[in-house]
Structure 1
């Protein structure tokens, strides 16, 4: 007989916040029967993992109280059928209007997403906008980061350049069935950063362990 994997206190915290919406450290300690000190340690870890968020609530003249809730990444830890629904919907569209029309629809969707990124990134230097773009991608479930690349006279001729790296694909199940979804990501970044050139340097679809995009100011 296979034994069930034990549920950790961290899992209990995530499940409690999923059901209740938000809670203080003290409420979590009392509800889960765990010491306040242990709860705060787990909350610190979960915050570092970007699975929960918190907001300060002032009560009287003392120190503010913090209320914790699931982040989008935290919610994505729980079973959902979003991918299956999206794939089924795209399959139905392909059967109804054809694959070419579905590709056109997906391209329009990426153009719309790129404009949304552009609006939310706002004004600022290339570095500031790259940082905002990466943070937007993180909120959507991508394990993303960026770093500056010095001019090397080759790929980064004008410098400075910025490398955006994504180690996972938040829509991988959809991409397996509709590969053109990934192909539009490069176009999306180019639209979101209109004064830059964007080059794909690595691609998960081609068996590499990450997707990479080199961003540099247009000469």
Structure 2
């Protein structure tokens, strides 16, 4: 797809963002100063990408026309500042708490999340729980995998990215959330021996596989 077409589609999305009631093909063509056929082509591509959709049918006394609006995906296509806002919140919380209280706060959040996920882990042995945990991490955007030690008595979960890396650089206490969540779901102590926020190549979480837990 050409750069010009991408630029036109971005312009079209911005038009719809500023016209929440939607615009017709004719209105879009007029504002972008392009043909109706060109607008239809752009709209087809944006519909296929689920960024826009047909909405209300307008009756102007002549031939009815269909308005186009942004979908939720289309609205979310525009930049967000979630990390920036989260950083403000965490910085404020940390100022209000002592270090250990802030760490305890992270542990409480992890424990509450673990309770909602716990039913998925019921009836599974440690190896199965570990595999399920990796699947959940992958669904959250982690590039995570299992790493087994040479004597097969020690298993680790290795994540090659951090989904909140910039936040973890500023607030390393976030790692307490990961460790607590993993420990609660695996029902086994987890030790973090590698952290990307500390310039390690990956985040490594070691789980001891005792014979009575497998």
TM-score, with structure 2 as normaliser: 0.56
1:180 aligns to what?
A: 173
Q: Are residues 208 and 31 of structure 1, via their aligned partners in 2, closer, same or farther at CA, if it must alter by over 3 Å?
A: same
Which residue in 2 is equivalent to 1:204? 196
Q: Which runs of 5+ in 2 are unaligned?
A: 18-40, 50-71
Q: CA RMSD in A?
A: 3.9
Task: For residue 206 of structure 2, give the secondary structure of its aligned residue in structure 1.
Answer: strand
- Which runs of 5 or more structure 1 residues have no equivalent in the other structure? 20-27, 34-38, 44-69
The SS at the match of 1:170 is coil
Aligned residue runs from structure 1 range 19-168, under 5 A = 31-32=44-45, 79-147=79-147, 149=148, 152=151, 156=152, 159=153, 161-168=154-161
Contact 1:166/1:211 (8 A) holds in 2: yes
State the distance in 1 between where 2:162 and 2:77 align.
15
> Is this contact kept in 2: 1:197–1:217, CA < 8 A?
no
- Specify whether residues 125 and 182 from structure 1 end up closer, same or farther in structure 2 by C-alpha distance, changes over 3 A only: same
Paired residues of 1:199 and 1:215 also in contact (CA < 8 A): yes
Cα distance 1:5–1:82, how it changes in 2: closer, same or farther (>3 A)? farther
What TM-score, normalized by structure 1, do the two folds share? Answer: 0.55
Which whole-Å deviations, capped at 9, do the CAs of 1:153-201 have from their partners, x for residues lacking one? xxx5xx3x4331101111112212211111442233122111x343334
Q: 1:95 to 1:208 in 2, by over 3 A?
A: closer
Give aligned pairs, total: 158
Instruction: Pick closer, same or farther for the CA change 1:162–1:94 going to 2, 3 Å.
Output: closer
Counterpart secondary structure, 2:191: strand
**What secondary structure, in the 3-state scheme, does the structure 2 residue paired with 1:163 have?**
strand
